Amino acid sequence: MLNTDIAMGLARVTEAAALCSSKFMGRGDKIEADQAAVDGMEKAFAMMPVRGTVVIGEGELDNAPMLYIGQSVGVGNDNMPEMDIAVDPLDGTILIAKGLPNAIAVVAMGPKGSLFHAPDMYMKKIAVGPGAKGAIDINKSPKENILNVSKALNKDVTEMTIIVQDRERHDYIVEAAREVGARVKLFGEGDVAAVIACGFENTGVDIFMGTGGAPEGVIAAAAIKCMGGDMQAKLEPHTDQEKERCKAMGIKDLNKVLLINDLVKDDEVYFAATAITDCDLLRGVVFSKNDWATTHSVVMRAKTGTIRFVEAHHDLNRSSLVVR
């Protein structure tokens, strides 16, 4: 299978999730919207010629009937290399339920063993685009990181924009940013879209900092690696059960700083995202008359650094992507 075929195949996977879930925008039911995204993504994977195993998904088999961790996806044969698949069919379930920006469907794929198998818990993260690669250190204070990234980008600190999830646990980051005169952009949900925004200058976002889901962190790291950016992370287990889960997954040092190459170990990794609602980088799904819909996606490959923006127009009456 050609690399361009793989990339566009992944785009169709995220397009399917976005098309199916977008009809529930603003209807107040995040569970139904999420299920629609899962159904669409699973159907699209069933037509893709890859030999994949979900390593980051909707959860364990017991509580996730589809796209569960360990599930085989694709219609590839034994002659094809095994691939790790990380999915989030709908990152931002509350966002789509309320009709808010930054809901997105995402998938990452790489050779077997290439994606960090993150347990479902909190993870502290810091991410930047390619212009500030090597300038971040998760063990340093937010103030030090902002000033170092400002220097790396050759931008006055007053022109820097830090994107932070609007949570009380991040007050120290917001206070540090304001203290040095940096701009702060708060978001409510959906930290994958927020991390991706760091990799593109036209979004105006320079640094992502904060604590969120570990599985989402690995998916976002795949995007950052494709863009040539930088990311560091640290797991933050809060209970004895979470600590034991880490050990069971072979994670011995809970204080270890996970560098970009720890999170994504291979350059032959792909990332695709389709906006469900409007994001900093992509426009959300737009429906038009006669059952047509338009999607906007981004598809990347780390090995070549290729980034494709895909605008697709779908006839929903004929589309094989849509679950009805």
Q: What is the 3-state secondary structure (H, E, C) of 113-157?
A: CCECCCCCCEEEEEEECHHHCCCCCCCCCHHHHHHHHHHHHCCCH
For residues 95 and 188, the answer to whether their CB atoms sit within 8 Å is yes
**Strand ranges across the sheet with 183-187:** 183-187, 161-165, 207-213, 122-128, 230-236, 258-259
Residue 78 assigned to a binding site: no
Residue 91 assigned to a binding site: yes
Residue 206 assigned to a binding site: no
Residue 166 assigned to a binding site: no
One-letter amino acid for residue 77 of the chain: N
Residue with tokens 């919207």: 33
Residue 42 assigned to a binding site: no
**List of E strands, 112-169:** 122-128, 161-165
The single-letter DSSP state of residue 120 is S
Could you give the CA distance from residue 225 to residue 260 in angstroms, rounded to a whole number?
7
Number of CB atoms found within 10 A of residue 231's CB: 30
Q: Which residues are annotated as a binding site for Mn(2+)?
A: 34, 58, 88, 91, 216
Binding residues are: 34, 58, 88, 91, 216
